[in-house]
Amino acid sequence: MTRLSVNINKLATLRNARGGNNPDVVRMALDIERFGAQGITVHPRPDERHIRQSDVRELKQVLTTEFNIEGYPNNDFIDLVLEVQPAQVTLVPDPPGVLTSNAGWDAKGQATLLKEVVARFKASGIRTSLFMGTEVEQIAHAADTGTDRIELYTEPYASTHHLDRAKAVAPFNVAAEQAARFKLGLNAGHDLDRANLAFFKANVPGLLEVSIGHALICDALTFGLDNTVQLYLRELR
């Protein structure tokens, strides 16, 4: 079964909008684990507009499922990850201030940076993943960095799924085959939701994990958090 890692950034955004500690991000992360999710994802940004470094440290102390930290590998991020020692770190090519991740790595052009950072994390026993598009040449260069996995950036699939789902998923099927060719583990994330998740999972071989935040938290406003986690798990079965 493909594992579900729930990105809790939106819960932190809601908390920060009002101040205080409501909702309690750590408590809700524990609830999400209890409801059946197999992982928790956070993406701390330099401005701490949602997840804060203090959240990351506190979550590490209490989570019992896989902890995945996403982010751009500047010095502060690297130091935080090496301190916290999550199960997985997902490197994304976001410049400071960007609203959300919107592209995969240029693994060829950024090879020196990525090889150095991947080596540091792997030396500490942290599984590494690179946020990538579907270009097969770039996936080959990602493998050269020494990364354990790649996470496919799925917004292009999600934005065209309703028009022609077979056409939308085709590049991801090819990318998955390329990842398997280079013995890379395969994750995916960005704009996956209840409408497009099952078809993606059924047509992308070797999918180990999906990271879903925005859509799942939005659905929880209607269906409740416990029920929503179950709905997403059902789509992955």
Does residue 98 register a pLDDT over 80?
no
What range defines the domain where residue 41 resides? 3-236
**33 in catalytic set:** no
The one catalytic residue in 50, 141, 161, 190 is 190
CATH code, domain with 20: 3.20.20.70
As a whole number of angstroms, the distance between CA 215 and CA 190 comes to: 9
**162 in catalytic set:** no
Does residue 99 register a pLDDT over 60?
no
Average pLDDT over residues 84-96: 91
User: How many percent of the chain have pLDDT more than 70?
Assistant: 97
DSSP 13-77: HHHHHH-TTSS-HHHHHHHHHHTT-SEEEE---TT-SSS-HHHHHHHHHH--SEEEEEE---HHH
pLDDT digits 0-9 by tens, 172-200:
999 999 999 999 999 999 999 999 999 99
Does residue 97 register a pLDDT over 70?
no
Does residue 70 register a pLDDT over 80?
yes
Q: How many domains does the chain have?
A: 1
* Burial label, 153 (beta-carbon count in 10 A; 0-12, 13-18, 19+): buried
The one catalytic residue in 33, 70, 209, 235 is 70
The one catalytic residue in 33, 43, 135, 161 is 43
SS3 per residue for 117-128: HHHHHHHCCCEE
**83 in catalytic set:** no
pLDDT recorded at residue 94: 80
pLDDT digits 0-9 by tens, 13-37:
999 999 999 999 999 999 999 999 9
